[in-house]
Structure 1
Amino acid sequence: MWSKASRLHSEEDMGLRAAFIPAAAVDGGAKLERLTIDDMLQKHCGEFGWWQLKHFVLTSLAWALEGIHTMVMIFADRDPGWRCTTSGCSSDVCNLEGGSWEWEGGPESSTMAEFGLICGHKYRVGLVQALFFAGCMIGAGIFGHLSDSRMGRKGTLTIVCLMNAIFGCLTAFSPNYYVYVFFRLLSGFSTGGTGLCAFVLATEPVGPIKRGIAGMSTFYFFSSGIAILAGIAYLFQTWRALYIASSIPSLLFLILVLPFIHESPRWCLIRGKVHDAMKIMHSIAKSNGKHLPENVVIALDSEVNGDYYSDDPESKQVTSSLIDVLRCPLTRIRLFLAVTINFTMATVYYGLSLNAVNLGTNLYMNVALNAIAEMPAYFLTAIWLDKLGRKPLTIGTHWFSGVFCLAGSSMKGYGTWKIIRMICGILGIFGMAGTYNLLFIYTVELFPTTVRNAALGSTTQAAQLGAILSPLIVVLGGGIPFAVFGAFGISGGLLGFFLPETLNKPLYDTMEGMEDGESKEAAA
């Protein structure tokens, strides 16, 4: 232990100064030990104890919000059905005169009914969906950058949840179709940053061995949010009431959950907030029933592996951007592969969802069952993640989905073949559901803390671009969509061969630390 005379004047000074003292320095006979966050979690704080469990659950609730705000369009923009009010009615509503038919549930039941999105204007329903995902694509990139910079993970998550609540409520008061489209675009903009901020914030304080299964588990919350949405939509069957009701969970999250969520210690460290990072690490150790020795100090991986020291806390800040990712050959290749694979995955996932055979049952029950049906894929992927590794599983899930899509493209849509084709589609979705959350974990581990959310934002943008493209493929009809989705699945799996394995590898803090670590591994 340090002598009383050598103690620093405050806890903050101790945290700041200790992090910049060489490990060889000796104070009162106790040798300072500089450790990265991963090493500190493994040796002293615990990789996934009570602190991480509580933090993980609270943070991952934001994924449920993303599921609600994304899938609310299924109910708000639905075709509520219509019925004739006069005799001799045609079966085609486009050939009927006004006053000879009416919407079931009234015009307020959906935007399609109230804004007249039928016949020649039916394409506008798809346009709203495409623009929402376009907003997600833009928001993912912007909020991914902001969460890596001054705003931080928690600060950015707070902003996007607040925006979700505001835009969701304003959508309910749209006086016409064009205002409705505008607010859905804004809702997509904020929704695009929700999941990626929540994912990184939930998984960064978890140790390397437990990080994979923890990351896979975040998507249970996404599916649960969709299932909860089905219940909300059943209770509020007018589209305006539905948008208000579906925005309330975001307000509750802001008020009841966010105050109990901590900022990421990794982000604190790279932003020069060493005292805050050490405070969080001590809190983790205490809650997990562990002890973090006073002579253990936190440091960036570039400091632990190199000879960089500084007495100026401000010089501790390490910032990077996507420009730095593109300048570095190692990360440039990784980003290209991650973006392309996420694009192929999302095109297949959303495309198969839109192309699935209608079960002919209650819409609310269908959505709830579809959400629940994805959970076994998450479970199985989580089991195999740490056994097979990220790379083989990425390849395998892509090919699993691709093979069944190609099989479905060869099936004729009649009789038994129609049922088999439906099963092929379900199995295709099953494979891509597992791939979706796997790629989040993979992307997190492929890039250092300084650019992690920016990289994740880029891959999320690529996924949203795939979501925009998928309806255009679906409208081709016949076996063409299955063939295209099969080709995408096989191609995504082939690209996975060029990615490195990240199983049980450290989460690097800086670009320099990652390059040094990869160089030493290659040399070994």
Structure 2
Amino acid sequence: MADSNPLLPPRDDDADGRFEYRTDHHHEKKLSVDERIEQYIGEFGWPQLIQSVLVSLAWTFDAQQTFISVFTDAEPGWHCVGSQCGSYSGVCDLPDDARWAWNSPKESSIISEWGLQCASSFVKGLPASSFFFGCLIGGLVLATLADSWLGRKNLLLLSCLSMSISGILTAFVSTNVWVYALLRFVCGFGRAAIGTCSLVLATEVVGKRWRGQVGVIGFVCFSLGFLSLPGIAYINEGKSWRTIYIWTSMPTLIYCALVLFFVRESPRWLLIKGRKEEAVENLKNIATLHQSSLTLSFVGEEEAPHGNDLDVYSALKILVAKTWALHRLVGVMIMSTCIGVVYYGMPLALGNLPFNLYLSCTLNALSELPASFITFVLIDKLNRKCSLIGLTIVSGICSVLVAIVQDFYHGRLMMGLQIGLEIISFLSACAAVDIMLIYTIELFPTCVRNSAVSMARQALVFGGIFGPPLVAAGRTSPFLTYGVFGLVIGVCGLFAGGLPETRGVALSDTMEEEEDGEKAKLAAV
């Protein structure tokens, strides 16, 4: 149990049982805000676990909207009704007098409902591209709101609400592919901040020893959300694609109510914004479940960390203005972009492999769970830099081997080897994403942390933009897909060598505190 009065200075008891607080600077140890918060609510208890799990659930709904197009935008199978089809492999190659029909009801996919089977690849891929483009723009626009104005909780709530409402509107007002693509853009724009806010908010209420493990909770929820989609699609098999949007969007509204009433804002963020009373109240609420009576005399006004952000986008200005922060941000974004090429590109490339698409998609989705477990183990055992370098190299080697094996494909044994290498490569990339995000949290202080993590996530999405053209090129030459994937991710991990190690290091709250910590490390060396 944590000390019920940790934020008061030490006291001396006299012979009469009375006590007074020591003010002798030779005896008083000045604690950082990070240490004071840990002393007050403990490193990790039931209140922090409940808060972290509740906040991390947002990743589940985020994953559903990210991968929902795998089922709603899929091109259904077709069959020939008469005998005029001959040996044609595609509907658009059939002669005008040929009769054919979809294997599924017309409304089961946007392709069949709106007759897009012969549309250009640009039109067919427009909704998915619009979603990721919305993610990219939304990440840039919303990146600093959680640091400077709205806070972590409010932005998480706003993002989940906009994602849910846009999903419901998609089901009811999409009359053609253009309206549908616009709503997918709105959905992507709104959900861009969910993962960042959830990850930062969950990790800022626990001690530094538990940050990595708590961060993994969100990654597991994301994997479960991905895995839930095949089940939802199977239940609604033969029904309209719109029902999948309803099934995934309505529960998000209920989740928004839970966030509104039960999630607490980060005390760290409240402190740097000067909202000391709210920070104290949130700390009391978090500590209530494992401390029966608490009194608080928090840090003096002169000791409280203050954010130096003056407007909505000042966090990015601060990151660019500080040489050390810009160096870290550039390194993080380069690695995130390269990892994103593989993370988003590999699932899209499964259709290029001589393997059952549904089974391979399921195996890829399942591989995210052991990736989260690997992160859970590695995050507390190995240095962040060693973990990133090792995982990216393993992913790169296996991806290149996939291309080599495909060139020498001669039967089931080689097919099994190929999909096995692909799963290992994707699993390693997933684990690298998880560790990369946790590493980013630890590299930047509270006043700019959410902005930095947002930029890292947008770099991941930006990397995903390069996946589709590489997949298309790989239909004729396997190396242009998996070979390039391997080279890109295999090299990017080396950029971690220029960044500081953060395992076991206390989180800083201000830029000045981070700079003082770095100076202390250099002085110790």
TM-score range, shorter chain: 0.7 to 0.9
User: CA offset at residue 452 of structure 1?
Assistant: 0.9
User: CA offset at residue 229 of structure 1?
Assistant: 2.0
Distance, in Å, in 2 between the alignment partners of 1:290 and 1:521 is 39
- The amino acid that maps onto 1:489 is I
Alignment of 1:335-374 (within 5 A): 335-356=329-350, 363=358, 367-374=361-368
Judge conservation of contact 1:227–1:367 (CA < 8 Å) in 2. Answer: no
- The amino acid that maps onto 2:400 is L
Q: Which residue of 1 aligns with 2:108?
A: 109
User: CA offset at residue 520 of structure 1?
Assistant: 1.0
Judge conservation of contact 2:75–2:117 (CA < 8 Å) in 1. Answer: no
Alignment of 1:137-176 (within 5 A): 137-172=136-171, 173-176=173-176
Judge conservation of contact 2:132–2:461 (CA < 8 Å) in 1. Answer: yes
Alignment of 1:243-392 (within 5 A): 243-289=245-291, 294-295=296-297, 297-298=298-299, 308=302, 316=306, 318-319=308-309, 320-356=314-350, 363=358, 367-392=361-386
User: CA offset at residue 149 of structure 1?
Assistant: 1.4
Q: 1:74 aligns with which of 53, 70, 80?
A: 70
Q: 1:30 aligns with which of 21, 25, 28?
A: 21
Q: Which residue of 1 aligns with 2:55?
A: 59
1:183-232 deviations in whole A, cap 9, x for unaligned?
Answer: 11111111211111111111111110111111123100001011122222
- The amino acid that maps onto 1:222 is F
Q: Which residue of 2 aligns with 1:7?
A: none
C-alpha distance 298-428 of structure 1, shift in aligned 2 (>3 A): farther
Residue 490 of structure 1 aligns to a residue whose secondary structure is helix
C-alpha distance 227-345 of structure 1, shift in aligned 2 (>3 A): same
C-alpha distance 292-439 of structure 1, shift in aligned 2 (>3 A): farther
Tell me the percent identity.
36
User: CA offset at residue 453 of structure 1?
Assistant: 1.0
Residue 338 of structure 2 aligns to a residue whose secondary structure is helix
1:84-114 deviations in whole A, cap 9, x for unaligned?
Answer: 2222324331123377112122221101112
Segment drifting more, 148-157 vs 254-263: 254-263
> Superposition RMSD on alpha carbons, in Å?
2.7
Segment drifting more, 370-379 vs 202-211: 370-379
- The amino acid that maps onto 1:481 is T
User: CA offset at residue 243 of structure 1?
Assistant: 1.4
Segment drifting more, 269-278 vs 116-125: 116-125
Segment drifting more, 281-290 vs 220-229: 281-290
Segment drifting more, 343-352 vs 413-422: 413-422
Q: Which residue of 2 aligns with 1:455?
A: 452
1:265-318 deviations in whole A, cap 9, x for unaligned?
Answer: 1111111111111222233333234876644x247xxx9xxxx569xxxx9554
C-alpha distance 402-45 of structure 1, shift in aligned 2 (>3 A): same
User: CA offset at residue 35 of structure 1?
Assistant: 3.9
- The amino acid that maps onto 1:275 is E
**TM-score after normalising by structure 1:** 0.88
Aligned pair count reads: 492
Segment drifting more, 70-79 vs 89-98: 89-98
- The amino acid that maps onto 2:452 is A
Q: Which residue of 2 aligns with 1:435?
A: 432
Residue 410 of structure 1 aligns to a residue whose secondary structure is helix
User: CA offset at residue 122 of structure 1?
Assistant: 3.5
Q: Which residue of 2 aligns with 1:83?
A: 79
Distance, in Å, in 2 between the alignment partners of 1:100 and 1:260 is 58
| Unaligned runs of at least 5 residues, structure 1 | 1-14
- The amino acid that maps onto 1:480 is L
1:409-439 deviations in whole A, cap 9, x for unaligned?
Answer: 3221522444323222111101001011111
Q: Which residue of 1 aligns with 2:44?
A: 48
- The amino acid that maps onto 2:265 is E
Residue 321 of structure 1 aligns to a residue whose secondary structure is helix
C-alpha distance 290-492 of structure 1, shift in aligned 2 (>3 A): farther
1:414 aligns with 2:412: no
Judge conservation of contact 1:131–1:184 (CA < 8 Å) in 2. Answer: yes
- The amino acid that maps onto 2:66 is T
Alignment of 1:113-128 (within 5 A): 113-128=112-127
- The amino acid that maps onto 1:128 is P
Distance, in Å, in 1 between the alignment partners of 2:370 and 2:445 is 31
Q: Which residue of 2 aligns with 1:395?
A: 389
C-alpha distance 298-77 of structure 1, shift in aligned 2 (>3 A): farther
Distance, in Å, in 2 between the alignment partners of 1:250 and 1:367 is 24
User: CA offset at residue 70 of structure 1?
Assistant: 0.5
Q: Which residue of 1 aligns with 2:128?
A: 129
Q: Larger RCO: Structure 1 or Structure 2 (Cα < 8 Å, ≥ 6 residues apart)?
A: 1
User: CA offset at residue 332 of structure 1?
Assistant: 0.6
Residue 119 of structure 1 aligns to a residue whose secondary structure is coil
Distance, in Å, in 2 between the alignment partners of 1:505 and 1:231 is 41
C-alpha distance 99-154 of structure 1, shift in aligned 2 (>3 A): farther
- The amino acid that maps onto 1:71 is F
- The amino acid that maps onto 1:56 is S
Judge conservation of contact 1:45–1:290 (CA < 8 Å) in 2. Answer: no
Q: Which residue of 2 aligns with 1:94?
A: 92
Alignment of 1:508-523 (within 5 A): 508-523=508-523
- The amino acid that maps onto 1:279 is E
Judge conservation of contact 1:401–1:489 (CA < 8 Å) in 2. Answer: yes
- The amino acid that maps onto 2:470 is I
Alignment of 1:475-494 (within 5 A): 475-477=472-474, 478-494=478-494
Residue 83 of structure 1 aligns to a residue whose secondary structure is strand
Residue 102 of structure 1 aligns to a residue whose secondary structure is strand
Distance, in Å, in 1 between the alignment partners of 2:361 and 2:248 is 15
Q: Which residue of 1 aligns with 2:183?
A: 183
| Unaligned runs of at least 5 residues, structure 2 | 12-18
